[in-house]
Amino acid sequence: MTAQQPQPAVVAPRPRKVPRIVILGGGYVGFYTALRLRRRLGRREAAIVVVDPRSYMTYQPFLPEAAAGSLEPRHVVVSHRQVLRGVDVLNGRVTGVRHADRTVRIAPEYGDEYEITYDHLVVALGSVSRTLPIPGLAEQGIGFKHVEEAIALRNHVLARLDAAASTWDHDVRRRLLTFTFVGGGFAGVEALAEVEDLARSAVRGGRYEGVRPEDLRFVLIEGSTRILPELGEEMGGYALEQLRRRGIEVHLATFLSSCVDGHVVTSTGVEFDSATIVWTAGVQANPVLAETDLPLDDGGRVRALPTLQVATADGEVVEGVWAAGDCAAVPDLTNPGHLCSPSAQHAVRQARHLGDNLARYLRGADVRPYRHAHVGTVASLGLGKGVAQVYGVKVRGWIAWFLHRTYHLAQMPTLDRKVRIVLDWTLALFFPREMVALGRLHDPRATFVEAAASTAARAPGRGPTPDGRGGAGGAGGTGSVEGARAA
Ligand SMILES: Cc1cc2nc3c(=O)[nH]c(=O)nc-3n(C[C@H](O)[C@H](O)[C@H](O)COP(=O)(O)OP(=O)(O)OC[C@H]3O[C@@H](n4cnc5c(N)ncnc54)[C@H](O)[C@@H]3O)c2cc1C
C-alpha cells in the first residue's frame, strides 16, 4: 500500500473470549467449511465469519443446465444467509491479507474499505478464468464460471436467434448464428453441448422465421489434441465423435489468435465471423492472493500441507492459516509428486476435512492428512446424452447422462434445492423449454433512461408539454417536480 492511499478503517481487535475463524470465499470450500465448523464447534468455541461479494454458493456443475434453461438459475445457487445459521456473513471483496498482524482488508460494495482481525484464517478464494492477451477477447468474450454468466449466455443466444429471424442480410444472419466456444475441458464442452441443444430445439418447428437448425454453426476451439482430458483418451474420443456427429465443428491443436469485432482468426488460419464467443479455456488461482503475505507456489496458489495447513516452501506450518480448493496447492497423497486437481470433487472433501482438522486443532487434538483417490468423472453432452468414467467403469449415452444428473443431484446442498431441481426436470418432461430472450434484463434502466431523456428533451424548462399534460408525469401523474410540489 502506498503512503498516499487512504488507510482503511480498522475494526479494532477486541480481546476475544472465543477464537474468530474468518473464511475468505463462500464457494464450495468456504460454504462447506463453514457448515462443518458450525456443526463441530459450539458458539462458545468459535465465532465464524464468511466473506464473499456474492451472498450465495454456486453449484458450478449445474451451470451448463442453467444456461440451457433446463434448470432455473436460482435453483443452482444456495443462499449463505438462509443456510449458514450461526455464521456471520460479510458481503465484500477481500483485497488483501496481512497475516503478520492477522488482518483481512475488505472492500464492501457500498462504503469504505475496512479491516477485520482473526485468530484462524481459511483461504477459499477459488480460481478465476485464465485469459490471454488475445486481441478482441476482453471486448467480445463471455466467461462461464458464475451463475450471472450462465443467465447472460442463455439470453444472449436466444436474442441472437431473434435477431437472425429479423434480418434479411445473409452475412449478418450467418454471423448471428455462429457460436464459438474456446476450451475443450469440462466447462467448455458441457456448456457448448447444452447450449447447442437449446438453440437447435428453439429453431425447430419454424418458430424463428427463416432460421433452420442446419443454419446454426457451433465451433469448438481447443489447443490440445483432445477434449475432456479428465475422461481419458477413449471416453474423450467418444465425446469428440458425438459432438462432430451433431455437426459441431471441433478444431483441435488450434488456438484463438484474434476476435476483434467478432471476427475470429485461429492459429491454423481459419477465419469467420461470430456474434458469440464463450471463453472456457481453464482457470488460474485467484489473483488477489498476490495481495497477501502468505506463501504462494509458482502457479500463484497458496502452499498447503496435506493437513490443509498453509506452509512455507520448506514445509514449515504458518500457524493460524488453512487453505483448500482451487486456490490451494495441496499435495495429492494418492498420486505422489502431483497436486490435487482443481475440481468440485476435491473441493467438497477438502472443505469437510479442513473443518474437522480445524475443530480438532482448537480442541488440542492431532490434525490428519487429506487423502482422496479420484473417483471418476461424469459429463453431460446435452439432454439425454453423456459420458462418464467412474471407478474405472466407462459409461456412455443415456446411462451416463442419468448418472451425471443423479450424482450432481445427490451432491447439491440442501433438500430445498434438490426438490426444486427435481421439479424443474419433471416440468421439462411435460412442457417445452422457455425460449424467451430476456436480454434487456442486463440493462434494466435502459428504457427508463430513454423515457427520461426524451422528457427532458421535450421540456427543457420542465414546463408543460404542448399537449398541456406536464413534463414527466403523464396523464394524471405527479412525476414532475411541479406536480410533486403541487401535490
Ligand atoms: C461450468 C463448470 C462446471 C464444472 N463442473 C465440474 C464437475 O462436473 N466436476 C467437478 O469436480 N468440478 C467441476 N467444476 C469445478 C468446480 O466447480 C471447482 O473446482 C470448485 O467450485 C472449486 O471450489 P472453490 O471453493 O475452490 O472455488 P469456488 O467454488 O469458485 O468459490 C470461490 C469463492 O470465492 C469468492 N471470491 C472470489 N474472489 C473473492 C474475493 N476477492 N473476496 C472474497 N471472495 C471472493 C467467489 O465469489 C466464490 O464464491 C466445474 C466448474 C465450472 C466453472
Amino acid 6: pLDDT: 55
Q: Is the CB of 124 under 6 A from ligand 1?
A: yes
What ranges do the domains of the chain cover?
Answer: 9-54+91-129+284-362, 137-281+376-430
Q: Is the CB of 61 under 6 A from ligand 1?
A: yes
Do 341 and 349 meet the contact criterion of CB atoms below 8 Å apart?
no
Which residue, by CA, sits nearest to atom 5 of ligand 1? 61
Q: Residues 69-123: pLDDT tens digits?
A: 999 999 999 999 999 999 999 999 999 999 999 999 999 999 999 999 999 999 9
Query: What does the block give as the cell for 47?
Result: 465465532
- Tell me the residue length of the chain: 487
Nearest C-alpha neighbor of 64 from the set 223, 209, 185 = 185
pLDDT at position 432 is: 80
Q: Which amino acid is at 135?
A: P
Of 291, 326, 346, 407, the residue with max ligand 1 atoms within 8 A of its CB, to mutate for a pocket test, comes to: 326
Closest CA relative to residue 253, chosen from 292, 225, 215, 228: 225
Q: One fold for both 9-54+91-129+284-362 and 137-281+376-430?
A: yes
Q: What pLDDT, on a 0 to 100 scale, did the predictor assign at position 475?
A: 42
Phi, psi (rounded to 5 degrees) for 152: -65, -40
Q: Determine if ligand 1 sits within 6 Å of the CB of residue 250.
A: no
Which of 80, 90, 93, 125 is the pocket-test mutation for ligand 1 (most atoms within 8 Å of CB)?
A: 125
Question: CB of 179 closer than 6 A to ligand 1?
Answer: no
**Is the beta carbon of 60 within 6 A of some atom in ligand 1?**
yes
Tracing cell 448464428 back to the chain, one arrives at 177
Q: How many CA atoms lie within 13 A of 335 on its CB side?
A: 9
Asked if residue 326 has its Cβ within 6 Å of ligand 1, the reply is yes
Q: How many CB atoms lie within 10 A of CB 341?
A: 13
> With left for phi above 0 and alpha for psi between -120 and 50, is residue 25 left, alpha or beta?
left
- Topology of 137-281+376-430 in CATH? FAD/NAD(P)-binding domain (3.50.50)
* C-alpha–C-alpha distance, residues 379 and 230, integer Å: 10
Question: For the domain bounded by 9-54+91-129+284-362, which CATH number is listed?
Answer: 3.50.50.60
Residues sharing a CB contact under 8 Å with residue 355, sequence separation 6 or more, in sequence order: 32, 33, 34, 35, 36, 37, 39, 40
How far is the C-alpha of 253 from the C-alpha of 179, rounded, in Å? 19
* Ligand 1 atom closest to 94 (CA): 42
Sheet of 93-98: strands edge to edge? 9-10, 114-117, 103-107, 93-98
**Ligand 1: residue whose CA is nearest its atom 23:** 28
> What is the separation, in whole angstroms, between the first and last Cα of the chain?
53
What's the CA-to-centroid distance between 27 and ligand 1, angstroms?
A: 6
The C-alpha cell of 201 is what? 430445439
Q: Which residue's C-alpha comes closest to atom 20 of ligand 1?
A: 344
Q: Which of 186, 289, 291, 412 gets mutated to test ligand 1 (max ligand atoms within 8 A of its CB)?
A: 186
With the most atoms of ligand 1 within 8 angstroms of its CB, the residue from 79, 146, 343, 412 to mutate is 343
- Predicted confidence at residue 485, as pLDDT, reads 36
CA of 127 to the centre of ligand 1 (A): 6
Which among 37, 28, 35 has a CA at the least distance from the CA of 340?
Answer: 28
Choosing from 60, 122, 405, 406 the residue with most ligand 1 atoms within 8 A of its CB, the one to mutate for a pocket test is: 60
Residue 146 CA to ligand 1 center (angstroms) comes to: 8
Model pLDDT, residue 448: 84
- What pLDDT, on the 0 to 100 scale, is given for residue 392? 83
What's the rounded Cα separation, in Å, for the pair 336 and 371?
Answer: 11
pLDDT score for 484:
37
Do 174 and 180 meet the contact criterion of CB atoms below 8 Å apart? no
Q: What is the pTM of this model?
A: 0.88
pLDDT score of 8:
55
**Residue that the C-alpha cell 505422489 belongs to:** 336
- Measured distance CA(107)–CA(104) in Å, rounded: 10
The string of pLDDT tens digits covering residues 10-60 is: 554 556 789 999 999 999 999 999 999 999 999 999 999 999 999 999 999
**From the alpha carbon of 283, which atom of ligand 1 is closest?**
53
Distance 211 CA to ligand 1 centre (A): 37
Sign of CA dihedral 375, 376, 380, 384: negative
What CA–CA distance (Å, rounded) separates 194 from 249? 15
Please work out whether the CB of residue 372 comes within 6 Å of at least one atom of ligand 1.
no
Pairing of strands 20-24, 47-51: parallel
Nearest residue (CA) to ligand 1, atom 37: 125
> What is the Å distance from ligand 1's center to 290 Cα?
18
Residue 219 cell numbers, joined: 465451433
Q: Which residues of the chain have pLDDT under 50?
A: 1-4, 12, 466, 468, 470-487
